[in-house]
Copies of this chain bind each other. A is one copy, B any other.
Amino acid sequence: MNFKGASILSVDQFERADLQQIFDVATEMEVYANHQKLTRVLEGAVLGNLFFEPSTRSRVSFGAAFNRLGGEVRDTTGFTFSSMAKGESIHDTSRVISGYVDCLVVRHPEEGAVQQFADATNIPVINGGDGPGEHPTQALLDLYTVAKEHGKNLDEIDGLSIAMIGDLKHGRTVHSLTKLLALFDNISFTFVAPDELRMPDGILERARSRDHNITETEDMIEGIKDVDVIYMTRIQEERFSAPEEFAKYRGKYSLNRATYEQHCRENTAIMHPLPRDSRPGANELDNDLNGHPKLAIFRQTDNGIPIRMALFAMVMDVADKVHDTARDAIWYRPESIDTN
């Protein structure tokens, strides 16, 4: 696809070559994302960072990524557009704000709303999540993490094996990541979920293309045995038809250090879109995995910065000019952010 001036609305926009292009730019962004160097390529540009529902981490990630390119950010949070409460259309809101800024990020609780924002303007619009719809930058950073964790280029991930675990029916992230991985060859997907929360048929259909191998199971131990990547997601009680149904699975999809060490290959990377529930009894990743070298969840969120920087640079057509204003960052940065 031609990224110049484009809006990024759905993972369905991308072909394999597009992903390679994004990841090549993201790789070049790493020195800026790591605070080793700084660039001023977007100095003078302004981002409209419009969050119609709370998602503080995504809002800060998009904003910081734009700042790292030298640009300024104007944030909005919540339905503070009193104008929309008074009957203003998305068309009008989008067009008005477009006159103030150079690029929009929009997060909205309703599926399709971000598309409407994009339809009303010619400036680039990036989907920061539209309810049950899409969150394409999350999918891109997930795929980028899958590749990086195994030290592979994107063209080497053919043949990868991945276990996706949890609520695969409602999980926006696992749907999008499956769609992206399906663009490669010979991927082994293991979908681990309660029967009520199986991966939807539409997504399975995608995954069945190109010689991919698909296994569906309710047994997590079986699923994590021999994979390159575990992608864990949250299971929420309210997603089940009945409490008894939920009770059947309590604790079954919780990964802790002992389980990992007993059943997984040594190089299996553990991913999670975060946030994870860290309260006792949560059906997710145990805190005792913190500090484990294969726990990739924070490297995964860190990857949001180079991925979002890359997308901004590409849609604003400055990817080849980023280094022109580069210089060393002179402030202190720790060897590693992690304390354990």
Contact = CB atoms under 8 A, between A and B. Distances in A.
Given A57-B97, A74-B73, A278-B89, A329 B35 contact: no
Interface string A58-73: 0111011101101011
Interface of A: 4-5, 35, 38-46, 48, 54-57, 59-61, 63-65, 67-68, 70, 72-77, 80-84, 86-89, 91-93, 95-102, 119-124, 274-279, 282, 287, 290, 298, 301-302, 304-305, 315-318, 321, 329-339
A55 B73 contact: no
Contacts of A41: 330-331
Contacts of A35: 45, 102
Nearest to A298: B95
A9 to B, nearest CB: 15
B48 A60 contact: yes
Given A80-B77, A339-B120, A88 B276 contact: yes
A95 B63 CA distance: 17
Contacts of A54: 80-82
Contacts of A305: 99-100
Nearest to A41: B330
B96 A274 contact: yes
A317 B35 CA distance: 14
Given A42-B331, A298-B95, A60 B73 contact: no
A200 to B, nearest CB: 23
A99 B302 CA distance: 5
Given A91-B278, A275-B86, A316-B331, A123 B60 contact: no
A83 B54 CA distance: 9
Given A43-B38, A87-B279, A337 B96 contact: no
Contacts of A317: 331-332
Contact of A100 (B64, B278, B318): B64
